[in-house]
Amino acid sequence: FPQSSAGLKQGLRALFFYMKREITDSNIITWLQAHPLINISALEKNVGMAARDLHKAIAGSRGIPDKYLPALVAVLKKYGWK
């Protein structure tokens, strides 16, 4: 999580949201496929994922590591994730 208090609050909210509602990599992949204008490389960089990991998950060759789900949800909420 980010070091600033605002970033920490956002991360904790995302974690709570993740725990409250079952978030799976397939939910996120489906959402991203329905929103093709989201820049996947920028999203990977924003949440600290290795380059191409999310691309590979969308292509079906791997899953999204669980440790990134809360951060992904926090970012995707800015773009309409519910």
Q: How far is CA 48 from CA 7, 21, 34, in A?
A: 14, 23, 23
**CA dist., res. 13 & res. 56, Å (int):** 27
- Predicted confidence at residue 66, as pLDDT, reads 86
- Per-residue pLDDT of 25-49, as tens digits, reads 888 999 999 999 999 999 999 999 9
- Predicted confidence at residue 1, as pLDDT, reads 44
pTM of the model: 0.70
- Per-residue pLDDT of 51-65, as tens digits, reads 999 999 999 999 998
